Amino acid sequence: MFERIKNYFHKAKQEIVKEYAIPPADPVNHNRNRSVDRADAVVPRIWTGIDLDGTLACDNLSAGMDRIGEPVPAMLELVKKMLNNGIRIKIFTARAGDPEQIPIIRKWLKDNHLPDLEITNTKDYQMQRLYDDRCIQVEKNTGRLIVDD
């Protein structure tokens, strides 16, 4: 048991220190990605989060955590279009909290002809949008729910 916990933390540490290749800023967001005072200082790029289970992939969690469902065709195409348009995509999933899930997600991405995208379960100030099957949108600063009637 101790050895398994030790391996878990070792994998978590490896994932935390891993560096990701981030493509250069696209022309559309060029001004938002550069500091006004220092032209050589790059501000982190904005990104769009895509949930995995139930959004990009069919929800297959009842089959176990070692499997990810088949891709949802409409979302797979949307993600590919976003990537082709220079939008930075992160897979935003609760699975990212378990370092043993990261290789499973990376394999799924590769098997479905997607690049080695960043994987996270943490929001930050650069996230501009989130596609998720569990979200209910709230109007900014009002608390008013935005629902389809």
Task: Establish if 142 belongs to a structural domain.
Answer: no
pLDDT computed for residue 109 by the predictor:
98
In a domain, 110, yes or no: yes
With respect to residue 136, please indicate whether it lies within any of the assigned structural domains: no
**CATH number for position 7:** 3.40.50.1000
Q: Is 140 a domain residue? A: no
Give the domain range for residue 93: 2-34+41-131
Listed range (31-35, 87-91, 122-126) with the worst mean pLDDT = 31-35
pLDDT in tens, 57-92: 999 877 788 899 999 999 999 999 999 999 999 999
pTM greater than 0.85 (yes/no)? no
- The answer to whether position 8 is within a domain reads yes
Q: What number of other Cβ atoms are within 10 A of residue 59's Cβ?
A: 14
Q: What's the Rg (C-alpha) of the chain?
A: 17
In the chain, the N- to C-terminal Cα span, in Å, equals: 52
Count of structural domains, the chain: 1
Q: What is the pLDDT of residue 45?
A: 87
In a domain, 109, yes or no: yes
Does a structural domain hold residue 148? Answer: no
Residue 11, pLDDT score: 66
